[in-house]
Amino acid sequence: MTALRSTPFDRRQLLKAAALTPFAGLALSGCGAKPAESAAANKTVTVTSYGGSYNDQLTQTILDPFSKQSGIQTTLLANTSLAALKAQVQSGDVQWDLVEITAPEYEVAVAEGLLEKFDYDIISDKGLPGYAKAEYGIKYLSFLFVMAWDQKVIPDAQAPKDWAQFFDQGKYSTKRSVYNQLSDSSVLEAALLADGVPFDKIYPLDVDRALRVLGQHPGKDRLLYHAANQEPIQQLTSGEVSLSTSFNNRINAARNDGAKLNFSAENAVLAGDYFVVPKGAKNKEAAFKLMNFMSNDAEAGAAFDKVTNLTLANIPALSKLPKDIADTLPTSPLLADKILVRDDKWWSQNLKKTEQQFKLWQAS
């Protein structure tokens, strides 16, 4: 109890001391008063993301090099959510400075006025691809929603080539685990692709048809749901399922840890996440400095791309990558014809309605 209590108290004291120090200096030199807060603030930045292997990679490739270069300390949390962001902004007690949310969530947050405008005087947009730069955030990350399998049960030669095979009950009798949260999951797109809808006809999404397809193949009782990104890795490695949807970086990370899993980038769905700054964030300048580093530092960006197999919105990094890595990134031109690009606009307008419909379908 005392240990728990003492931490914030000590920190507060420390902050107070840190805030008073410049005052002492100012009083001695007789200068005018400058807001004491800004000296203490913006020496740290609290980043919130999705956790698991991804958070480790982010720390290693981006946050640590940034701290070393700028002297700004970073804290990385794993419990990101739009709801928590909204609660913080509405209560006026904003704890987070830089928050990862999905593209549809970004649109919702903008519409509800929860975000700070990005300061492109601090963030140089030289390294930013056109699609990434937005008024209230940067679509800093592109990833692939993929089909993954357990190689112990399904050897690569027998692996599904497309979503139709992935869902085909006759071909694989195993259960399929699919991602539950539609803000991030392209399972409805996958169902339509399985039903033979071509890439350019997927949007606007025919939700009824997608659900009908899922109900037939593989059937409701063959579907298992996961709600966290690291969960399918556990389900696949424990043998609970041998087919699952996941994201390319998660499967790569698991493979690097020795898991016998594989995935196919063909037929994948390209989607992205935004970094945003909640309205009233205490260290927004530090957050923007971090965004500037992330978007323009070639070394850090290339390290990130290499380790995660994700595309960071950082053009200088791409030139630093060996060809075999560059070709496997979600934004590689080699994949362009084989993947579906998720329509963020459609999802931001239909997310809540579709989520309700999906939940109701699951429950009935």
Partner 1 sequence: MSNATLAGSRPRGRDSPPSVETTSRRRRSSWWLLLAPILAFDVVLFLTPLGKLVGASFADSAYQRVLEDPLVMRALLNTLTISLASTVVTVVLGYIIAMVLWRAGNVARVILFAVVLLPFWTGILVKNFAWAVLLQDNGLVNAFLQGIGLTDAPIPLLHNRFAVIVGMVHCLLPYAVFPIFSSLTSIDDRLGLAARSLGAREGSVFRRITLPLSVPGISAAGLLVFIISTGFFITPVVMGGPGDMMIANQIDYYARQLTDFSGAAALAVILTVMVSILVAVYQRVLKAGGQHEDN
Is there binding between residue 51 and partner 1 (CB under 8 A)? no
Residue 221 within binding range of partner 1, rule CB under 8 A: yes
The enclosing H or E element of 269 equals: strand 261-276
Taking the least distance from each CB to partner 1, the nearer of 70 and 81 is: 81
Whether the ω angle into residue 204 lies within 30 degrees of 0, i.e. cis, is yes
State how far Cα 106 lies from the chain centre: 11
Q: Tell me the number of residues near partner 1 by CB under 8 A.
A: 26
Interface stretch with partner 1, choices 4-12, 29-37, 79-87, 268-276 (CB under 8 A): 79-87
Residue from 22, 39, 73, 86 touching partner 1 (CB under 8 A): that is: 86
Stretch that binds partner 1, among 6-14, 51-59, 175-183, 266-274 (CB under 8 A): 175-183
Taking CA atoms, 125 is separated from 42, 106, 131, 290, in Å, by 21, 19, 12, 13
Give the contact letters, 107-126, x = binds to partner 1 (CB under 8 A), - = no.
Answer: -x---x--------------
| Residue 28 engages partner 1 in binding (rule: CB under 8 A) | no
The nearer residue to partner 1, 225 or 346, going by C-beta atoms, is: 225
Q: Does 4 bind partner 1 (CB under 8 A)?
A: no
- Residue 101 found at the interface with partner 1 (CB under 8 A): no
Residue 244 in contact with partner 1, rule: CB under 8 A? no
Three-state secondary-structure class, residue 150: strand
The packing angle between helices 103-111 and 82-91, to 10°, is 20
3-class DSSP state of 160 = coil
Between CA 279 and CA 119 the distance in angstroms is: 13
Q: Which residues contact 18 (CB under 8 A, 6 or more apart)?
A: 39, 40
Q: Answer yes or no: are the C-beta atoms of 192 and 212 closer than 8 Å.
A: no
Query: Buried b vs exposed e over 112-149: b needs ≥16 C-beta within 10 Å?
Result: eebbbebeeeebeeebbbeebbbebbbbbbbbbbbbbb
251's tokens: 């499967």
Least separation in angstroms between CB 188 and partner 1: 15
Q: Which of residues 300-359 bind partner 1 (CB under 8 A)?
A: 352, 355-356, 359
- CB of 107 closer than 8 Å to CB of 348: yes
Choice between 28 and 227, CB closer to partner 1: 227
CB of 186 to partner 1, least distance (A): 17
> Which of 120, 199, 225, 346 is the binder for partner 1 (CB under 8 A)?
225
- Judged by CB under 8 A, the residue of 87, 111, 334, 336 near partner 1 is 87
Per CB under 8 A, the list member of 119, 162, 206, 240 interacting with partner 1 is 240
> Contact positions toward partner 1, by CB under 8 A?
81-83, 86-87, 90, 108, 112, 175, 181, 183, 221, 224-225, 227, 238-240, 352, 355-356, 359-360, 362-364
